[in-house]
């Protein structure tokens, strides 16, 4: 039987540097497309006659492959290296690597004809001024150079002003930008502003609005009507708008992709014997428990149930344990627990939360150092150096 939709499953709830450098100074070996015999099938007939300089420049100065250079030359052509050289020099001065420059030019070749000081430099200076490091700036813009094509005065600055009014700090704005450049690319009055307003009207406090927009901006950038429907659905599932779990649930149910993941998680949990109430309870306690991969759920549940003998439904009471690393946290701690249990040093009554939730220092004090005399190898068990079978 196929998995149910969210609404079906829970139907009872309602569903400034000097620019220099020329092509002559770089002295690269000239590339003749006519000499590239193995690649002749991909060379348009017009390439060698109409745009050889552009193609050669893209290969020698921008690091593009022959095929990419030919494709890019369909979108941008030039006969002089002066402007492109100045653009590349600016990018290098701002820390862009050869690979990042290649990616940027391949995606937005018209940037080679931009005026570096008047058009590009002010944008680079702006993003550095709000806290993007050189590495972050190069990584972000090479991944999506569309930002460099937007107006600083008409798009970037107005968006920044709105984000600052909500997030209050440049640090959070930078965090949102690194999550998705689209937070600066779309007109904030279209969806972002109405959605933030609706959250506030729904009783969501500033701290939670900030949390959602900082870490999951794509959720707040949904079209307004679906966003409103998602917020209403989360309310009807019993979430308190004043708690952070409310906006985390909004994120988990935002968009078709996340809803599909939700339904897939629902199916997996049902296979482990969870009821609708168990699933909703886990979702309320830790909304992102409905955003885990099937592989992660199956491996963790399999260990808890089959190796440790804990009841499947007990995990629904503390779904945060599903987020812990099986290799780095769950198995090392449970191995110590099994040794102590087998030697009668602790009783069966210990719950998985007692074993898995404490910070490492507290766990070591309570379950390892405390029993060093009785079991000298216990620390080695925890570190994975000694197998359980050897004790």
Counting beta carbons within 10 angstroms of the beta carbon of residue 112, is it exposed (0 to 12), middle (13 to 18) or buried (19 or more)?
buried
Quick one: DSSP state of residue 309? -
pTM above 0.85, yes or no: no
Q: What is the pLDDT of residue 11?
A: 47
- Mean predicted confidence (pLDDT) in 317-331: 95
140 contacts: CB under 8 Å, gap ≥ 6: 127, 132, 147, 177, 178, 181
Q: How far apart, in whole angstroms, are the C-alpha atoms of residue 271 and residue 193?
A: 41
210 contacts: CB under 8 Å, gap ≥ 6: 166, 167, 168, 172
Using the predicted structure, report yes or no on whether residue 376 has a pLDDT greater than 70.
yes
How long a stretch of residues is the chain?
391
How many C-beta atoms surround the C-beta of residue 219 within 10 A? 21
- Mean predicted confidence (pLDDT) in 9-26: 40
**pLDDT band, very low/low/confident/very high, at 23 (cuts 50, 70, 90):** very low
Return the closest-CA partner of residue 262 out of 270, 273, 252. 252
Alpha helix ranges (H) inside 115-156: 121-129, 134-143
Q: How far apart, in whole angstroms, are the C-alpha atoms of residue 218 and residue 216?
A: 5
Give Cα 79 to chain centroid, integer Å: 41
Quick one: DSSP state of residue 39? G
Pair of tokens at residue 389? 């079978």
Pair of tokens at residue 235? 């309310």
Q: How far apart, in whole angstroms, are the C-alpha atoms of residue 58 and residue 64?
A: 6
Check if the beta carbon of residue 339 is closer than 8 Å to that of residue 391. Answer: yes
Q: What is the pLDDT of residue 285?
A: 96
Query: What does the pLDDT look like over 164-196, one tens digit per residue?
Result: 999 999 999 999 999 999 999 999 999 999 999
Query: What does the pLDDT look like over 33-65, one tens digit per residue?
Result: 333 334 333 334 444 445 689 999 999 999 999
How many C-beta atoms surround the C-beta of residue 17 within 10 A? 12
Instruction: Indicate the helix (H) or strand (E) that contains 1.
Output: none
339 contacts: CB under 8 Å, gap ≥ 6: 375, 378, 381, 388, 391
Using the predicted structure, report yes or no on whether residue 26 has a pLDDT greater than 80.
no
The domain locations on the chain are 52-149, 151-256, 272-322, 329-390
Return the closest-CA partner of residue 19 out of 127, 109, 69, 94. 94
Return the closest-CA partner of residue 261 out of 243, 283, 228, 231. 283
Pair of tokens at residue 74? 């369909």
Instruction: Give Dmax (Cα) for the chain.
Output: 86
Using the predicted structure, report yes or no on whether residue 138 has a pLDDT greater than 80.
yes
Q: How does the average pLDDT of the chain come out, rounded?
A: 87
Q: How far apart, in whole angstroms, are the C-alpha atoms of residue 86 and residue 97?
A: 16
Using the predicted structure, report yes or no on whether residue 16 has a pLDDT greater than 90.
no
Q: What is the pLDDT of residue 51?
A: 66
**pLDDT band, very low/low/confident/very high, at 353 (cuts 50, 70, 90):** confident
Each as own residue / partner, the long-range contacts of residues 251-255 (CB below 8 Å, 24 or more positions apart, any chain) are 251/212, 251/216, 251/219, 251/287, 251/288, 252/283, 252/287, 252/288, 252/290, 252/291, 253/6, 254/216, 254/218, 254/219, 254/222, 254/227, 254/230, 255/218, 255/219, 255/222, 255/226
Check if the beta carbon of residue 198 is closer than 8 Å to that of residue 237. Answer: no
């Amino acid at each position: 039987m196929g998995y149910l939709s969210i609404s079906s499953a829970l139907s009872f709830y309602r569903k400034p540097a000097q620019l220099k450098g020329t092509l002559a100074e770089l002295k690269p070996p000239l590339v003749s497309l006519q000499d590239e015999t193995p690649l002749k099938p991909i060379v348009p007939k017009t390439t060698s006659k109409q745009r050889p300089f552009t193609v050669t420049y893209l290969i020698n100065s921008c690091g593009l492959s022959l095929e990419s250079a030919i494709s890019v030359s369909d979108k941008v052509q030039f006969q002089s290296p002066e402007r492109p050289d100045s653009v590349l020099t600016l990018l290098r001065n701002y820390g862009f690597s050869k690979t990042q420059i290649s990616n940027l030019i391949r995606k937005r070749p018209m940037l080679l004809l931009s005026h570096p000081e008047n058009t590009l430099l002010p944008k680079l200076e702006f993003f550095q001024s709000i806290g993007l490091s050189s590495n972050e700036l190069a990584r972000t813009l090479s991944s999506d150079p569309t930002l460099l094509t937007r107006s600083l005065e008409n798009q970037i600055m107005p968006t920044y002003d709105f984000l600052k009014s909500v997030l209050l700090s440049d640090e959070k704005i930078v965090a949102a930008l690194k999550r998705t450049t689209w937070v600066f690319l779309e007109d904030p009055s279209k969806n972002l502003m109405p959605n933030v307003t609706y959250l506030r009207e729904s009783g969501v406090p500033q701290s939670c609005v900030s949390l959602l927009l900082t870490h999951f901006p794509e959720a707040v950038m949904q079209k307004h009507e679906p966003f409103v429907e998602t917020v209403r659905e989360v309310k009807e599932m019993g979430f308190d708008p004043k708690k952070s779990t409310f906006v985390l649930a909004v994120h988990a149910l935002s968009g078709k992709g996340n809803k599909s993941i939700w339904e897939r998680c629902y199916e997996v949990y049902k296979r482990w014997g969870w009821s609708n109430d168990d699933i909703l309870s886990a979702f309320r306690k830790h909304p992102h428990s409905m955003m885990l991969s099937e592989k992660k759920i199956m491996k963790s549940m399999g260990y808890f149930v089959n190796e440790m003998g804990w009841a499947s439904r007990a995990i629904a009471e503390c779904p945060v344990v599903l987020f812990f690393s099986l290799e780095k946290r769950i198995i090392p701690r449970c191995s110590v627990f099994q040794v102590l249990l087998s030697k009668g040093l602790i009783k069966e009554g210990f719950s998985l939360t007692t074993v898995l939730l404490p910070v490492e220092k507290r766990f070591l004090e309570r379950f390892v150092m405390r029993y060093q005399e009785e079991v000298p190898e216990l620390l080695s068990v925890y570190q994975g150096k000694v197998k359980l079978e050897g004790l």
